[in-house]
Structure 1
Amino acid sequence: MAAGIEHLVTSGTFSLDGGTWDVDNNVWIVGDDAEALVIDAAHDADAIAAAVGDRRLVAIVSTHAHNDHIDAAPALAERTGAPILLHGDDLPLWKQTHPERAPDGELTDGQVLTVAGVELTVLHTPGHAPGAVCLYAPALGTVFTGDTLFAGGPGATGRSFSHFPTIIDSIRDRLLALPPETEVRTGHGDSTTIAAEAPNLADWIARGH
């Protein structure tokens, strides 16, 4: 099979600043029959491992370190031997969930990850979290945005470690510069496109957070 994108939805909780909420998370798997890469190991290591199957897992990439995006990462890494990759600016958030286990490697802006012949370029897009990243795969016409950009607007910035003007800068400068037809695959909810979201930038800025 040629390289493609698989989608899994897992359910659990998100906790920060003393509150806890039920959430459904999108887990994305990029790969072919031989190898795969997981984006955001959320909630259910067993379900993610089953979806990966007997393929070699080259990496577990965390778009940011809110607990609902990383809670299953250590268990999945232990099972598969794959490294967990996270931007260094999100280490303080990571340690809130996994104080006993550090990520295995740091993501950096402009870094290129390769799986099944597909290149994914790391775009540092802070705002929702200091170390939030998106992964742009031009060969697949897709950007994986984590919680930076959703169908209908930017990710939340009302809690610790987040900043509304910063997320707007990230979306405007890094994401809306991508080709309009690029599909936006998000951390929660439905996918969208750059073309669908770009006209709303002025409204987001006017609304503020």
Structure 2
Amino acid sequence: MNTAVYKILLVDEDQVFVRQTRQLLVSQSYDTYTAASEEEGIIICQQHQPDLIICGAHLRGTGGHHFIMALRNDPAYDHIPLIFISLRDNRQEMRMAMNLGADDYLARPFRKRDLLLSIRSRLGRFAKFNHVRPPEETSTVSLANPNTAQQTLYHRLGKAENRIIKMIAEGKSTRQMADELGVSIRTIENHRYRIAGKLGVSGRNALTEFVIRNIIQQQKS
């Protein structure tokens, strides 16, 4: 059982799956909300600020990928950890979900234990980061030229992405970041890929070079 009451939003159009999963979550003392569409999911986020979201691949009128994009493009919700649920074990679908911002991926059918472990891992990793993070860490890192296009894009990064940037600036490797955040190396690589896209840089070492040029060198000046 949980010592704290966490709020979980379950978004999926499959009512049988939603009912069964909700029963599982309630049995673990999670405060659970459900939605069948992207619009309903966003409204619940506005009203209840969930601590974690479980999103299915198929929603009423659209797909789960569209919901992830809407969530990650909104600074108010882009920090919320999200577990993506697919109807099949498909590598391409998994990669797309992770690139869009999913924090974990499970293919149905899966064991109840696997879902609960994923939830606990996500909540444990994000609890301090999302709720009691020191104020000085919540600000974005200033770039050398505040008038650049990169500056505008940088302020669109989510809290998790800002933390990745900070760790890159600290000289941590992908493996070190994965170990510290309790995720896989692939997840870190997906985060780096999305950050690079938002900052408008490309190439194998482009993001690291961007951090060195615009953050580390500025801090030394």
TM-score, normalised by the number of residues in structure 1: 0.26
Task: Kindly name which structure, 1 or 2, has the bigger radius of gyration based on alpha carbons.
Answer: 2
TM-score, normalised by the number of residues in structure 2: 0.25
Higher helix share: 2
